[in-house]
């Protein structure tokens, strides 16, 4: 009897405690699921940030490539021959002959080869000539070099194969 009276007397308190425990259980489940959702959103945010960084890098590289394409495409055989002549004057080298070869077409670029025969008073002048060709803003590559000493004192004959490239847009 005492138990029944105690239950009847505290009926509302028991109901409230059970209701509070049920609410705590449900809220903990909701909290855990929201925590998982928040963590996945943080991971997605980090991934998107990394993707944005990569896209910015790609964009800057594309701009650089565009600038290089513009530099490489501004030349032709006549401008290359003029460049060789100007460099020869600056280096105190005499150009005996320039022989352009046919263009070699590749998938991404066109290679224009030349054969130059030059006379230089010494190795330093010849070295300065070669260095200035390779250090031009436009791309020039020395493919081969053959040096012969001339019968005249301190004069060198050299044969160079030089190439330049034009990118295909």
Ranges 56-60, 116-120, 162-166: which has the least confidence: 162-166
CATH number belonging to domain 77-167: 3.30.70.60
Terminus-to-terminus CA distance in the chain, angstroms?
A: 99
Single out the residue of 90, 89, 110 nearest to residue 100, CA to CA: 110
Q: Residue 7: left (phi > 0), alpha (psi -120 to 50), or beta?
A: alpha
pTM, two decimals, is 0.55
Residue 117 has pLDDT above 90, yes or no: yes
Banded model confidence at residue 16, pLDDT cuts 50, 70, 90: confident
Residue 67 has pLDDT above 80, yes or no: no
Ranges of each domain in the chain: 2-71, 77-167
Q: Find out whether 150 and 57 touch, Cβ atoms under 8 Å.
A: no
Q: Find out whether 115 and 161 touch, Cβ atoms under 8 Å.
A: yes
- Neighbouring CB atoms inside 10 A of 26's CB total 10
What share of the chain in percent tops pLDDT 70? 91
């Amino acid at each position: 009897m005492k138990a029944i009276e105690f239950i009847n007397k505290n009926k509302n308190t028991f109901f409230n405690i059970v209701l509070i425990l049920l609410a705590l259980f449900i809220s903990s489940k909701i909290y855990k699921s929201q925590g998982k959702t928040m963590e996945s959103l943080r991971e997605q945010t980090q991934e998107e940030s990394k993707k944005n960084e990569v896209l910015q890098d790609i964009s800057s590289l594309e701009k650089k490539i565009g600038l290089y394409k513009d530099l490489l495409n501004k030349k032709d055989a006549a401008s290359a021959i003029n460049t060789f002549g100007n460099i020869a004057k600056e280096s105190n080298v005499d150009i005996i002959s320039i022989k352009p070869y046919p263009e070699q077409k590749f998938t991404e670029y066109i290679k224009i080869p030349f054969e130059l025969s030059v006379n230089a008073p010494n190795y330093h002048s010849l070295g300065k000539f070669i260095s200035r060709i390779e250090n031009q803003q436009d791309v020039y590559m020395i493919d081969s070099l053959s040096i012969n000493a001339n019968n005249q004192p301190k004069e060198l004959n050299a044969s160079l194969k030089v190439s330049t490239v034009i990118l295909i847009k």
